């Protein structure tokens, strides 16, 4: 029997969801071209993208709409997206084809294992985490992705001067994120407290609806010292 102390707590539940025909076709055609298979060895990011350019990691891109928009608006930057859910991966692959994007690569695997084994120290210029699962019940807070050990792991993969950008629409999670990021000695806050939404992060339909209903959204922007 496995020792439970040797297994990390997963921050996601694997909900496969229903793949549309278009998403299925995109997975079949797009993964061989834009996907990167998980491997327990360091990834050569420049080779994976076919060029030398700033590299930004995003964990949990959902259906990929915002990710595709960001990649389209920042063609001089390469974006590596990690997501476990098939419909989201398929949808972003479809958007890559529709928008003719060449600066996106996707890994369908547990993000913690990818960061642990595939990303070298000081290899990233930025990190995005948008609207992660808030695990709202207090007994589930330990499943939240933003914890001190995880942030330290991400920071170790960032170059000096690289940024961390997070956003959430759960206020208590936003406060936890701010506390965890403030407590990481290798980071400094770019502002005093929460940050204005940067121009590069588009408003999602879900977010626009929440704002109309008076719900808050909190952005955090930290820089590695």
φ, ψ (nearest 5 deg) of residue 103:
-110, 30
φ, ψ (nearest 5 deg) of residue 23:
-65, -40
In 50-110, alpha helices (H): 65-73, 86-99
Q: Cα–Cα distance between 179 and 146 in angstroms, integer?
A: 10
Cβ–Cβ < 8 Å for 19, 30? no
DSSP label at 143?
Answer: G
Distance of CA 3 to the CA centre of its chain: 29
> Binding site annotation covers 98?
no
- The residues, any chain, with a CB within 8 Å of residue 55's CB and separated by 6 or more, are 45, 49, 77, 78, 79, 80, 123, 124, 125, 126
Q: Which residues pair with 55 in a beta bridge?
A: 78
Q: Cα–Cα distance between 30 and 96 in angstroms, integer?
A: 9
> Binding site annotation covers 110?
yes
- Tens-digit pLDDT profile for residues 189-210: 999 999 999 999 998 777 888 8
Tokens, residue 168: 């959430």
- Is domain 18-224 classified as CATH 3.20.20.80? no
Closest C-alpha to 113, from 82, 144, 81: 82
User: How many Cβ atoms are within 10 Å of 146's Cβ, its own excluded?
Assistant: 22
- The residues, any chain, with a CB within 8 Å of residue 216's CB and separated by 6 or more, are 169, 171
All structural domains of the chain with their residue ranges: 18-224
- Tens-digit pLDDT profile for residues 96-116: 999 999 999 999 999 999 999
Closest C-alpha to 118, from 7, 224, 41: 41
Q: Cα–Cα distance between 92 and 156 in angstroms, integer?
A: 28
DSSP label at 214?
Answer: T
Residue owning tokens 């389209």 = 72
- Tens-digit pLDDT profile for residues 50-76: 999 999 999 999 999 999 999 999 999
> Binding site annotation covers 83?
yes
Among the options 133, 179, 192, 219, which is catalytic?
A: 133
pLDDT band at 10 (very low <50, low <70, confident <90, very high): low
SS3 131: coil
Question: Is 133 part of the annotated catalytic residue set?
Answer: yes
Question: At residue 139, does pLDDT exceed 90?
Answer: yes
> Binding site annotation covers 137?
yes
Percent of the chain, pLDDT > 70? 92
pLDDT band at 21 (very low <50, low <70, confident <90, very high): confident
């Amino acid at each position: 029997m496995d020792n439970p102390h040797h297994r990390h707590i997963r921050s996601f539940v694997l909900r496969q969801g229903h793949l549309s025909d278009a998403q299925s076709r995109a997975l079949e055609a797009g993964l061989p071209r834009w996907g990167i298979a998980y491997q327990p060895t360091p990834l050569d990011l420049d080779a994976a993208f076919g060029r030398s350019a700033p590299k930004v990691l995003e964990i949990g891109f959902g259906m990929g709409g915002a990710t595709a928009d960001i990649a389209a608006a920042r063609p001089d930057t390469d974006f590596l997206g990690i997501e476990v859910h098939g419909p989201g991966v398929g949808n972003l692959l479809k958007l890559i084809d529709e928008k003719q994007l060449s600066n996106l690569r996707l890994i369908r695997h547990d993000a913690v294992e990818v960061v642990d084994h595939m990303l070298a120290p000081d290899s990233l210029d930025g990190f995005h985490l948008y609207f992660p699962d808030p695990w709202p019940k207090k007994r589930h807070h330990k499943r939240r992705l933003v914890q001190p050990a995880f942030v330290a792991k991400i920071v170790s993969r960032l170059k000096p001067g690289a940024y961390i950008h997070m956003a959430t629409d759960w206020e208590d999670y936003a406060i936890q994120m701010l506390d965890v990021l403030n407590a990481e000695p290798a980071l400094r806050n770019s502002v005093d407290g929460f940050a204005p939404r940067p121009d590069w992060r588009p408003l999602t339909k879900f977010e626009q609806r929440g704002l109309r209903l008076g719900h808050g959204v909190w952005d955090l922007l930290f820089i590695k010292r």
